[in-house]
Amino acid sequence: MKALIISDNHGDQRILERVTQQWQEQVDLMIHCGDSEMAPTLPVMQRFKVAVLGNNDWGLDYPLEQTVVTAGQRIYATHGHRYQVNTTLTPLMLKGQEQGADLVCHGHTHQLAVTVESGMLIINPGSISLPRGQYARLGGTFAVVATTPDSFVVDYYDRKSQPVDGLHFVFNRKGGRA
């Protein structure tokens, strides 16, 4: 299974159009982790099988969280603002365990991050439009995750869909880098 994960475009429709058009035939699933600030009825937002409500998505009809199963992978997505992701991943990890998730996807911090905890890949694709932190200089990022029975393969891309040097990861499903 291969999934594109994006978050926090904050009304920037052009970048979603560009990324989804380029990737829609290359991935099995597209996930938006909130703060799109765009109506779910827009054609670009309908390309996302999973799209959740962010703390800036006022009045928009997205669920707070979604759990889907695709190609045998259980994926849990939320924005993260209700799980204290600015300071700890513990509440989010516990929610992922409760959901029986293989992948836990979130946004909110605008900083890319990825780890494996208790056999789950927990990933933040960063913000595609308003990045913060160490990789803010890239101008925005999204992630593509490929799963195998034994591993998670994670690649981060910039706004031009170019792979980011040094941000390719292979994780053993049992924990740790492969």
Output the pLDDT for position 176: 61
Q: What is the mean pLDDT of residues 118-130?
A: 96
Amino acid at 114: V
Helix (H, G, I), strand (E, B) or coil at 20: helix
Count Cβ atoms below 10 Å from residue 72 Cβ, excluding itself. 9
| Interatomic CA distance for residues 81 and 100, integer angstroms | 21
Res 151 pLDDT > 80: yes
Q: Over pLDDT 90: what percentage of the chain?
A: 94
Query: What DSSP assignment string belongs to 52-109?
Result: ---TT-TT----SEEEEEETTEEEEEE-STTTTTTT-SHHHHHHHHHHT-SEEE--SS
Per-residue pLDDT band at 175 (split at 50, 70, 90): low
Output the pLDDT for position 118: 86
Residue 138 sits at the vertex; the CA angle it makes with 127 and 103, to the nearest 5 degrees, is 40
Res 109 pLDDT > 80: yes
Output the pLDDT for position 42: 98
Output the pLDDT for position 62: 98
User: Tokens 């803010």 correspond to what residue?
Assistant: 136
Q: What are phi and psi of 17, to 5 degrees?
A: -60, -50
In the chain, domain spans: 2-172
- Cα–Cα nearest to 81, from 97, 95, 101: 95
Cβ pair 149, 133 in contact under 8 A: no
Output the pLDDT for position 173: 83
Amino acid at 13: Q
Class of domain 2-172: alpha beta
Query: Model-level pTM?
Result: 0.96
What pLDDT digit, counting tens, does each position of 21-64 carry? 999 999 999 999 999 999 999 999 999 999 999 999 999 999 99
Q: What are phi and psi of 51, to 5 degrees?
A: -150, 130
Res 177 pLDDT > 70: no
Helix (H, G, I), strand (E, B) or coil at 106: coil
